Structure 1
Amino acid sequence: MTSAANAAKQGVAQHIMLCGPAADMALKDAPVTATAPQPPRDMSPQGLMRKIMAGPNNLVEVCAIYLPGKGADQSVLIEGVGVANPQSMAAAMVAANARITSY
């Protein structure tokens, strides 16, 4: 999230897809590992993600299989987090101007 936040500050739109345990930070009832303040700035991963989401043209989604795997629906996600459409995400990933960073 730190790298994505810094890229967003530099004007690069962020389209973040959270998969597996990383997607837990998008939960309303997220685990403490996602909500506890982290040094050196006392910002939680979820807090930093929310800050990124507040910027223009930034998008955060969970992967399409995350919620079914948890037996949950989109109502468990914080406001503003969506569910990635596999076809749309694949098209974005193979676009000629795509920049992909994996953490």
Structure 2
Amino acid sequence: MSDSHGSNGTEDQALVILTSDSLQTQGMAMILSNAMQQQGTHLHILLCDAAGDLAVGGYTSAEAINTPPSNPAGQVKPEGMLNMLLDNGATVDVCAIYLPNSENEEDDLLEGVGVAAPGHIAEMMRDPSIPVYSF
């Protein structure tokens, strides 16, 4: 087996950690995550701080972002893209400290979104075969 990502015999995985409250940063993180997922990468998405709001049912961004001309979607919202990633098999969790430090409870999270166990996230971060991307 090769050490390169996407090598034969191993599942290509990536950990995307999103903490930013910036609409453009959230949008770009979701656009890049979508591209990785379309290329066969199994995504683990960890939403912390203000980005955790994307995983709350009923949350709506203040405005949509314009996508590049190469993307026929036109305008998108990060929470809509997150739902699409979930529907396509991404693992999505909020940080372990998100709920205790917000007005939300676990029942408020979108279906399929969990609460991250720090030990499991730390294992992925330490695994040299799983790249970590932070936004």
Question: Percent identity between the aligned chains?
Answer: 31
CA displacement at 1:85 relative to structure 2? 0.5
Q: d(CA) in 1 for partners of 2:112 and 2:82?
A: 11
Higher relative helix content: 1
Q: 1:39 aligns with which of 56, 66, 83?
A: 66
Q: Which residue of 2 aligns with 1:21?
A: 50
Deviation beyond 6 Å, 4+ runs, structure 1: none
* Range with bigger deviation, 12-21 or 90-99: 90-99
Q: Which runs of 5+ in 1 are unaligned?
A: none
Q: d(CA) in 1 for partners of 2:129 and 2:118?
A: 19
Higher relative strand content: 2
Q: d(CA) in 2 for partners of 1:53 and 1:72?
A: 20
CA displacement at 1:71 relative to structure 2? 4.2
Aligned residue pairs total: 100
Q: Which residue of 2 aligns with 1:92?
A: 124
Residue pair 2:48, 2:98 contacting (<8 A) in 1 also: yes
Q: Which residue of 1 aligns with 2:87?
A: 54
Residue pair 2:61, 2:77 contacting (<8 A) in 1 also: no
Q: Which runs of 5+ in 2 are unaligned?
A: 1-29, 68-73
Residue pair 2:61, 2:78 contacting (<8 A) in 1 also: no
Cα deviation 1:44-66 (Å, max 9, x = unaligned) = 1001011111113x211100000
Q: Name the Cα RMSD after superposition.
A: 1.4
